[in-house]
Structure formats: C-alpha cells, structure tokens
Amino acid sequence: MSKIDFSGRVAIVTGAGAGLGKDYAVELAKRGAKVVVNDLGGTRDGSGSGDTAASQVVDEIKAQGGEAVPNFDSVASAEGGENIVKTALDAYGKIDILINNAGILRDKSFAKMSEQEWDAVLAVHLKGTFNVTKPAFINMKENKYGRILMTSSGSGMFGNFGQANYASAKAGMAGLVNVLKIEGAKYGIKTNMLLPSAGTRMTEDVMPPEMFDKLKVEYITPGVLYLVSEQCQDSGAYINAFAGFFSRSQVMSGPGMMFGDKPTPEMVAENWEKIMSMDNPKYFDDVNQIMFDALQSDVVQKP
C-alpha cells in the first residue's frame, strides 16, 4: 500500500488551534504538507478571540520540523474567509487541501432558541464553510486539483435533542457537498464530508467520562488524512468516524410507486406502506437521476 504523503501540498485547516483541527494540522505537517493553521481563538460558544491557539500549534509544527503559518481570522465573515485563503496564497502560492473544521455550540431546546443563537451557529458552520470554500475552490479550479472536507455531524444527519441550530447548519453542508461533488468533478476537486465524534472541549460536558476517553481525537485523523489525500478518488461521500470506527452514510431512495396522471390522496393513503418501503434502496448521483429513474424504470410499481 502506498504511503499517504503530502509533500508539496498546501493545506488550510480552519479551527485548528484546538481539538480535532489541531490534530489534523499536526499530522498533515508531519507528512510533508505546508499548513495554514486558522483559529479565531475564542470560547466554545464563539465569544472572544486571540492569537495564542493558532500560534501555539504553528510553534509545535515547526518544532517538529514542519512548515506552517497561523491565521486568526473568523470564518464567519466573507472577508475572514478571503484572508484565510490569502494567507495560504501569500505564504505558499496555492491551495490543495481545505478542511472546514471551525465550530461553535449554542445548544438550546428549539422552543427556547433565540434568533441570535440560531444566527451565530449558522454563521460559523454553514456560512463559514461557504466563506472559506468559495475562494479556495477558485484556486483549486485553476490548478485542476483539490481536496475539500466539510465537518458535519451525526446531529445534523440523524438528529440530536437541543441542537436545532447546529444540526441545521451541519445538514446544510450536505447540500454543499452534493453540489461541489458535481461542480468540482471536471477540475479534479473531490469534496467529502466527515461526521466525527470525539472527546474535545466541545463535548467534554455532554459525554460520560468513559465514553469521552474512548473517543480519542487521534482515532479520527487517519480517516481525515485519507479523505484529503491524492489516493482518495471518491467525492460526495459522508463518512462517520469515531472510536476507530469508519463507515459511510448516504441518502437512499426506496422503489416507490407510480400513480401516473391521476393520483388522489386516497390512493396515496392506500399505498402508504409501499411508498414508505426502503426495499432495494437506490443511490442517485443527482436530482435528475431520481426523476429519470422513476419515469423510465420498470422497477417502479403501479397500483
């Protein structure tokens, strides 16, 4: 098996001053990548800022003989996103790898959630991912090479109490991955999505201690390094990662039922079981495929 090597590659890792992002940055640098270590340096809820977190990670990388530069911008503004990308271009001239990892939490049950709590979380996770990915994607397109990783969450793809803002932002990333998989294809840009679970400051008070200890950050990083490597030829995949376990999640469609041109609510009710059936589910690469399949396929059952 060929070694995963990042010599000559330039990587941006957002929110790399702590937790998962820090481990990705350190391990990428150990394998030869030049890394932009971005971190706003705030608290878990996104308040405050400082340059210590990112600077310390850069010092650590350099002490191990690696190459890295810090960036202290917030991903939450378009200007911040542009600056993060500019830091990479000024220091190293290109971007090969982008790991959108920065994140905050403002948990509240939905009925109690304020507009401010909604907006702050969407701004960092979803808009923040747009803010950095857009300028990075343009550079990758010019170079006809790119590896982009979005950091989603099982909370967004499966649900979790008290995280309506966070889950919505994280599920929104799936939409972006679905489109970039298509728009980046002819430029050699592969975009995938990670659903991690790890013991960090984000989860220290929500996980029982014995679980926290099992979910080590360094168990996630090998999957991340593969996903942003040249070896990875997949695009559009959602990868679960925790405790040394990796798997794929995907939106699949059931066989369905074709009613033709005169469907009635009663026909839908009578055939609800078949409509809901997930027997022999199918994966579709884009929205046109599912319609084409339903209109053409003999598999679609008629009442």
| Residue 38 Cβ vs ligand NAI, minimum distance, rounded to whole Å | 6
Q: Which of 30, 31, 32, 44 binds ligand NAI (CB under 6 A)?
A: 44
Among 104, 150, 239, 241, binds ligand NAI (CB under 6 A): 104
Is there binding between residue 81 and ligand NAI (CB under 6 A)?
no
Tell me the H-state helices in the chain: 19-30, 52-63, 78-92, 115-122, 128-143, 154-158, 164-183, 209-214, 221-227, 265-270, 272-276, 287-296
- For residues 131 and 80, give the distance between their C-alpha atoms in angstroms, rounded to a whole number: 8
The yes or no reply on residue 124 touching ligand NAI (CB under 6 A) is: yes
Kindly list the distances between the CA atom of residue 192 and the CA atoms of 32, 72, 99, 181, 206, in Å, as whole numbers in the listed order.
22, 25, 10, 8, 27
Alpha-carbon distance of 240 to 293, in angstroms, equals 28
Chain residues 170-229 in contact with ligand NAI, contact rule CB under 6 A = 196-198, 200-203
**Residue of 101, 165, 192, 229 that binds ligand NAI (CB under 6 A):** 101
Q: Which of 24, 92, 145, 166 is catalytic?
A: 166
How far, rounded to the nearest angstrom, does the alpha carbon of residue 23 sit from its chain's CA centroid?
A: 16
Q: Are 54 and 72 in contact (CB under 8 A)?
A: yes
Q: Give how many residues touch ligand NAI by CB under 6 A.
A: 33
DSSP classification of residue 18? S
| Closest separation in Å from C-beta 237 to ligand NAI | 16
| Min CB(168)–ligand NAI separation in Å | 13
Q: Is 151 in the site for ligand NAI (CB under 6 A)?
A: yes
CB of 16 to ligand NAI, least distance (A): 7
122 vs 258, which CB is nearer to ligand NAI?
A: 122
Cβ neighbors of 235 (< 8 A, separation 6 or more) are 180, 181, 184, 185, 189, 190, 191, 192
Would you tell me which residues interact with ligand NAI (CB under 6 A)? 14-15, 17-21, 38-42, 44, 46, 53, 74-76, 101-104, 124, 128, 151, 153, 196-198, 200-203
Catalytic residues: 166
